[in-house]
Structure 1
Amino acid sequence: MLLTVLSGLILSVVLIFFGKAFTKKLGILLPLLPTLLFGYYIQLFPVISSGKSLIQNISWVPSLGVNFDFHLDGLSLLFSLLITGIGSCIFFYGRTYLKGHPYFDRFFGYLLLFMSAMLGVVLSDNLLLLFIFWELTSISSFFLIGFNNQNQDSRKSAITALSITGLGGLFLFAGLVLIAHIGNTYSISELISRKDILLNHNLYPLIVSLLFIGAFTKSAQFPFHFWLPGAMKAPTPVSAYLHSATMVKAGIYLLARFTPILGGTTYWSYTLIAVGGITMLYAAIHSLFRVDMKSILAYTTISALGVLTFLLGLGTKEALIAVSVFIVAHALYKATLFMVTGIVDHETHTRDITQLSGLRKVLFPVAIAAFLAALSSAGFPFLTIGFIGKDLIYEATLHYGIKEWIWILTGLSIITNIGLVAAGFMAGIKPFMGPLPSQYASIHLPYKSMWIPPLLLALGGVFFGLFPNLLAESITNATASAMWGEVLTSHLHSWHGFTLIFGLSLATLAVGTLVYLVNKPSHAKLNAMEKLNRISPQNIITGFANTILHFASSFTNLFHNGYLRSYHLKIILFAELLLGYRLWMSGPITVSFWDLTYPDLYEIAIIFILIGATYIVLTTPSRLTAVVAMSVIGYCICLIFVIYSAPDLAMTQFTIDTLTTVLFVLVLYKLPPFINLTRSSILVRDAIVALSFGVILSLVALKVWSEPISAEISKFYGENAYLLAKGKNVVNVILVDFRGIDTMFETVVLSIAALGVYSLIRLRLKSSEKE
């Protein structure tokens, strides 16, 4: 499993360095990797469907509990198949869609990075590892959404998506850390056996809330849904892959994975039912007013994600079986419709359904794929997997435990599905029906690699619709079992007789078709709907974000005015306040003046030299004299270190002072004398601040002197420096080994700074940008 995750990451790096040569000569091999991975996971069907699971444990940072622990069960296998299977289709499709694009290699590098990150998310059995891959999906999707970086709307959409999902990731990280702390393990598999500990803990509501925010932001739940329609600025292969089958379902996967760990409570269930219900209804209604095919599909995707969240909230056996089937059904028909939309846009250069019609006459295989996908989206009986998915949704609502809620939940599902039926027909049937406009008479089918993948996915929806029990026996039963925590079995059939559920499905299809025929989307209706944006979640959250931005700008301008002396003053004042408050709260100092040891004559001499050098630094008009006086101060400190048995510190201080003095002399000796424009009031202020700082540090030293001496820490380092770190110099061992993480982050900061400097050096601005 580790190799399947790393393979995409490795190939992504290869494309970064050798992309141009690789894509020109070996670009045809790009779809080979996801296809091979798809084949690998397919052959694991017998193992997983038998109720077993695969575990791989590889030590990485065991001291922090971060390991490459992977777990493959029904749930992770289902998502792995979607990621690699639909990914294979997208790679074949994208090769032609982006043929000749100057950043062709870069696109597939990002796509491979995203594929590997998603595989990492669904396979991870370690909380911290899951979070690392979770954030990697946000970063890689940022590059994919903003791929057309010359377009301002694309850049804005990418930043919005990253901001929303990144904020959710921050909350998720806090929740995962709390889960690990309370459950005393980072292993997701082990947490299942510790469910009672988590459910009975007083922080349970906080943990669930943090987890919900992470999942809701990633899966575009209300009110965080608005980033998804904006992300449609990405190339169509990105929309088909990220926003129908993979990235947006990461939040659904997270909720499903933690259902057997945190689920089963009223807080969990009611929250998911409420948020999912609002999302699915809100988005389904909005989709009916859209005229852009991708926009229609974006809102129906949001609605479908709401349906999945809603079902997870119901939490019954029937609901979890419905979740497993609907994930497959939605991925197949939605990826198909997105790719069809890309073909239509590629050939006609528009996605406006008010201008499109009759395309079946020139894009017949594409029309077949679109018709089949639209029928699956509508739940056409006896033929499509979408019909079984909708049946299972109604079965879950009708069999819900609280009888008073049954018809409310069912009614909500019916209204939502009616909207999805009509919207699916708008995107999948309307552009291909009716007369063919003359301006489209000359268009032709694109390369087979563009229209065969969506046709295969659409036929897949028909195949599973005709033989649904194959799907149940191979994967969906195992998926539902992973969410339930125990073995679940279901027998999926296209025909269960004339039941209430079948009647509701037919009624939904009939009314949805009627809505499609009656509803006439137009730009006038869309503009009227857009007037409500003043009270939309997007406008509210954007306004809140702008308020924070304004505050941050004011705060920055107040504290960062460009003067180094101002920064020093504020840092010292803050330190004084913090240390002063701590001294005040810690109680009186028990060391009396008579307990102190009086200095010797040579120590008094060093102190007077320090005072004299300090006076010279403050009063001299010459920079060179000030530098020399500063070096004298440094050497005096070196002598104090020597006197008090710290020769290693003395040597370090001596080396640094000598080096900095030489550098200062080389740089400053040609500069003119100081220009003294400082007012007397500022001098008095600075003197008070400096004296206060000295007094506070003296009090801190006395406070430390009054505390009882504890040698536990020094004893630990002394005993373990050589045993654990194989070093005899204790100070060096502490800096290099025991503070290794600190050093690592310092290295990361320096690396980021180096990349920034390198980017500025290589920057080549256009003449218009220079102006």
Structure 2
Amino acid sequence: MADNHPSATGDAGPWRLIPAILAALGTLWFARFLGPVAQGETPELVVPWVPSLGIEAAFRLDGLALAFALLICGIGAICFLYAATYFRGDARLGSLLVILVAFAISMLGLVTADDAVTLFVFWEATTITSWLLVGFDHERPAARAAALQALLITGAGGLALLAGLLLMGGVAGGYRLSAMNAAGDLFRDHALYPAIFALVILGCFTKSAQFPFQFWLPGAMAAPTPVSAYLHSATMVKAGVYLMARLSPSLGGTDLWISVLTPVGGFTMLLASIWAVRQTDMKLLLAYTTVMALGLMTMLLGTSTPVAVAAAMTFLLVHAFYKAALFLAVGMIEKGAGSRDYPAVGGLAGAMPLTAAVAGLAALSMAGFPPMFGFVGKEVIYQGTTGAVTVAALLANAAMVACAAVVTLRPFLGRRTSPRAQPADPGWGLWLGPSALAALGLAFGLFPGVIGHALVAPMTRAVTGGPMPVELELWHGINAAFLLSLATFALGGLLYANLDRLRDALATAEPRLPRTEGWYDAALAGCLAFAAALTGAVQNGRMTSYLRTTFLLFAALIWGALVIGGAMPRPMAGATSLVDWAVLALICASIVAVLRTSSRLTAICALGGVGAGIAIIFVLYGAIDVAMTQLFVEVLVVVFLAIAMARLPRMGPPRFHAGNAAVAILLGLGVTLSALAVLSTPLDPFMSRFFEEKSAPVALGHNIVNVILVDFRGFDTMGEISVIVIAGVAAIAALRAGRRAAK
């Protein structure tokens, strides 16, 4: 149940605080834009990237991007400080901080990108860095399996997202997201809208763990506690929610949007609330409540009303504050008491009063009790929902109350129970950050208008294009939302009172219930079985099989180009001389000798005859340099192979293989027809004139072929020489190893 901490000692100097300091400075830098963005300004930075394709490294800071940037930097500073203390003395601390910083940079690029291709690049960067973070304890099989699961699911969703973004760029005629959002009707009325919607939403659902992909996020709890707090509170898992909000002006509001996002989000939310009650590991319990929160935000964005969007933006901030604080508080319990399994700890309030205060404040916000910011967010949720959506939100919020009670009551009240004899609050590096987050949850609850004006209103305007439809207030009077809040508290209290029975009933029923991740296990097993079968069929250890497959695929490519491209040769006029027929006879005789001989040495020499005939053709057409190269290569090949095969036994009488003959004829005929097709095409002399004009004055050489190889294709030639050198070194090493083995 505990994070894995090797005893190896690493450098614990002040350098470990540098990432936290940089993230804090980043928070202050982005905070400079709160006023201008609240007034409607949107600072931009555009750097040309691939102008020929209309791709720019464009970044734009509107209300939605600014809120995420502040969360990424602010909570990042807290998690970096926490990690520097949590892993102090661990030799892996440096690599952990480097990956965390790389992940933070990737997230910042993702949320501020105003170019679809730029956004995708950073999207995939978050996938790779989060894979490294989830699998940080790579020596444990569970961590490796969880990292692979997260990588495969989010990576596959990323490929779908790329296809969707490219389709959007094709429809819009450019890749600027702000321009796409301004032309929303263009997408909603387009014939490709269903395909675009499906691809983009698939990417969002995989990233934000919506059904049927929700299982990867609890599995990612194999990551260390500070990583879990950072990835699963305000950053990675909200990237899908961010993109749904970002593209809502261009893709949202349709019947398809509403009919997919609302039920999927609602079902994910309710399913996660059930399994959250089942958990005894408080970190895993919080992971399921994260899936619950992501489902709630997806459901609200699917509803598409301005009030529901405002509720989603408010709850996004609420969740970031309390969830990061609670994850870090669970890490404090684990450090101070020795376990994060709530049946194993209890009565810790006296020994760990600071941890109890942090967990209590954050849990009150999670449960939505006044005067916490969570209460304000819950009221707005009830204002923005109706009918079945309200009922689903009520049930999920009640489960939130029960889970919050578990985290704040079970570890701290009752009889003292702890794996450690003397539990105590950890040092300041662990309690400072979560204390600040818990305090912010209280401060924004007491003064919700401040964050409403500075962040929630600009976020809502970025999504809906209109003003904030509701005011964030701690007290709206006795209305329907307030009565629903009371019902939430009552139902949540009832769930908590029966928590143990519900948990045990779910544990008993779990083996008989269908596993929602069963499709993933089956798909992964199928892929591995197919790969094993394909490898067994292709990598069979027989060189003739490898050559046959290679030549057959090469022939398929050539014939595909000839047939699909319509490049069949046209009749060509030309006379043939006696020399031409003589060369043809030499080549044909050499081929017959290769096919009929039972001696490997004779076959190799006959193949040299084929090469010599081709060299003569080069000479006849003036390519002296190419002919010399061809001749030297043939001579060396014949000599080397003759030396290698001198000690091999005779092959025996040749046997006819119809399959091999068919492949040879197919490939040879395809190469011949393609060469004739090229020769029958009018020659564009542009390149020839270029080299004729530039060789002497620019490269100072009169031999055009040499100039091309040395100057115009210098890097290509150097690469070819490097390959030859590497092959030679490998051959020498293999010969020496064989000589030593023989001794």
TM-score above 0.5, yes or no:
yes
1:633 lines up with 2:613 in the alignment: no
1:308 lines up with 2:282 in the alignment: no
Give the alignment partner of residue 694 of structure 1, picking from 663, 668, 673: 668
Give the Cα–Cα distance (whole angstroms) in 2 for the partners of residues 187 and 380 of structure 1.
42
Residue in 1 aligned with 2:738? none
Give the Cα–Cα distance (whole angstroms) in 2 for the partners of residues 460 and 487 of structure 1.
25
Residue in 2 aligned with 1:604? 581
Residue by residue over 1:74-113, the C-alpha shift from the partner in whole angstroms, topping out at 9 and shown as x without a partner, is: 0000000110000000011111111111211111111011
TM-score by length of 2: 0.88
Counterparts of residues 92-171 of structure 1 (less than 5 Å): 92-171=81-160
User: 1:149 Cα shift?
Assistant: 1.0
User: 1:464 Cα shift?
Assistant: 0.3
Give the Cα–Cα distance (whole angstroms) in 2 for the partners of residues 25 and 69 of structure 1.
36
Residue in 2 aligned with 1:235? 224
User: 1:193 Cα shift?
Assistant: 2.7
Give the Cα–Cα distance (whole angstroms) in 2 for the partners of residues 738 and 130 of structure 1.
36
Give the alignment partner of residue 481 of structure 1, picking from 458, 461, 475: 461
- Note the residue ranges of structure 2 that are not aligned, 5 or more in a row: 1-8, 731-743
Residue in 2 aligned with 1:550? 529
Q: Could you tell me whether the CA contact under 8 Å between 1:144 and 1:234 is conserved in 2? A: yes
Q: Could you tell me whether the CA contact under 8 Å between 1:289 and 1:526 is conserved in 2? A: yes
Amino acid at match of 1:127: A
User: 1:691 Cα shift?
Assistant: 2.6
Q: Could you tell me whether the CA contact under 8 Å between 1:138 and 1:165 is conserved in 2? A: yes
Q: Could you tell me whether the CA contact under 8 Å between 1:579 and 1:696 is conserved in 2? A: yes
Give the Cα–Cα distance (whole angstroms) in 2 for the partners of residues 275 and 661 of structure 1.
69
Measured at CA, do residues 102 and 21 of structure 1 come closer, stay the same or move farther in structure 2, by a change above 3 Å?
closer
1:528 lines up with 2:508 in the alignment: yes
Aligned-residue CA RMSD (Å): 3.4
Q: Could you tell me whether the CA contact under 8 Å between 2:289 and 2:400 is conserved in 1? A: yes
User: 1:195 Cα shift?
Assistant: 2.0
Measured at CA, do residues 106 and 679 of structure 1 come closer, stay the same or move farther in structure 2, by a change above 3 Å?
farther
SS across alignment from 1:125: coil
SS across alignment from 1:354: helix
Measured at CA, do residues 584 and 181 of structure 1 come closer, stay the same or move farther in structure 2, by a change above 3 Å?
closer
Give the Cα–Cα distance (whole angstroms) in 1 for the partners of residues 58 and 453 of structure 2.
27
User: 1:31 Cα shift?
Assistant: 1.1
Measured at CA, do residues 56 and 581 of structure 1 come closer, stay the same or move farther in structure 2, by a change above 3 Å?
closer
User: 1:517 Cα shift?
Assistant: 2.1
Q: Could you tell me whether the CA contact under 8 Å between 1:290 and 1:521 is conserved in 2? A: no
User: 1:686 Cα shift?
Assistant: 2.1
Residue in 2 aligned with 1:270? 259
Give the Cα–Cα distance (whole angstroms) in 2 for the partners of residues 154 and 660 of structure 1.
54
Give the Cα–Cα distance (whole angstroms) in 2 for the partners of residues 428 and 582 of structure 1.
68
User: 1:194 Cα shift?
Assistant: 2.4
1:199 lines up with 2:188 in the alignment: yes
User: 1:60 Cα shift?
Assistant: 2.2
Q: Quick one: percent identity of the two aligned structures?
A: 37
SS across alignment from 2:46: strand
Measured at CA, do residues 529 and 140 of structure 1 come closer, stay the same or move farther in structure 2, by a change above 3 Å?
farther
Give the Cα–Cα distance (whole angstroms) in 1 for the partners of residues 71 and 604 of structure 2.
66
User: 1:705 Cα shift?
Assistant: 6.2
Give the Cα–Cα distance (whole angstroms) in 2 for the partners of residues 150 and 471 of structure 1.
43
Counterparts of residues 655-674 of structure 1 (less than 5 Å): 655=629, 658=632, 662=636, 665=639, 669-674=643-648
User: 1:319 Cα shift?
Assistant: 1.0
SS across alignment from 2:491: helix
Give the alignment partner of residue 391 of structure 1, picking from 379, 387, 407: 379
Give the Cα–Cα distance (whole angstroms) in 2 for the partners of residues 159 and 202 of structure 1.
36
TM-score by length of 1: 0.85
Residue in 1 aligned with 2:331? 342
Give the Cα–Cα distance (whole angstroms) in 2 for the partners of residues 330 and 679 of structure 1.
79
Give the alignment partner of residue 488 of structure 2, picking from 508, 512, 515: 508
- Note the residue ranges of structure 1 that are not aligned, 5 or more in a row: 1-19, 398-405, 758-771
Q: Could you tell me whether the CA contact under 8 Å between 1:131 and 1:173 is conserved in 2? A: yes
Measured at CA, do residues 682 and 531 of structure 1 come closer, stay the same or move farther in structure 2, by a change above 3 Å?
farther
Residue by residue over 1:488-536, the C-alpha shift from the partner in whole angstroms, topping out at 9 and shown as x without a partner, is: 3642110011001111012101211221122116875453243145x22
Give the Cα–Cα distance (whole angstroms) in 2 for the partners of residues 734 and 175 of structure 1.
42
Residue by residue over 1:436-490, the C-alpha shift from the partner in whole angstroms, topping out at 9 and shown as x without a partner, is: 1265451222111101111110111000000000001111100100011234364
User: 1:29 Cα shift?
Assistant: 2.4
Q: Could you tell me whether the CA contact under 8 Å between 1:621 and 1:674 is conserved in 2? A: no
Give the Cα–Cα distance (whole angstroms) in 1 for the partners of residues 382 and 56 of structure 2.
42
Measured at CA, do residues 722 and 504 of structure 1 come closer, stay the same or move farther in structure 2, by a change above 3 Å?
farther
Amino acid at match of 2:542: Y
Amino acid at match of 1:546: A
1:461 lines up with 2:450 in the alignment: no
Give the alignment partner of residue 416 of structure 1, picking from 393, 396, 399: 396
User: 1:243 Cα shift?
Assistant: 1.2
Measured at CA, do residues 682 and 141 of structure 1 come closer, stay the same or move farther in structure 2, by a change above 3 Å?
farther
Residue in 2 aligned with 1:3? none
SS across alignment from 1:432: coil
User: 1:355 Cα shift?
Assistant: 1.7
Give the Cα–Cα distance (whole angstroms) in 2 for the partners of residues 721 and 23 of structure 1.
65
Measured at CA, do residues 715 and 532 of structure 1 come closer, stay the same or move farther in structure 2, by a change above 3 Å?
farther
SS across alignment from 2:263: helix
Measured at CA, do residues 625 and 98 of structure 1 come closer, stay the same or move farther in structure 2, by a change above 3 Å?
farther
Give the Cα–Cα distance (whole angstroms) in 2 for the partners of residues 290 and 717 of structure 1.
74
Residue by residue over 1:601-629, the C-alpha shift from the partner in whole angstroms, topping out at 9 and shown as x without a partner, is: 22222223323443455556666665555
Give the Cα–Cα distance (whole angstroms) in 2 for the partners of residues 732 and 300 of structure 1.
69
SS across alignment from 1:288: helix
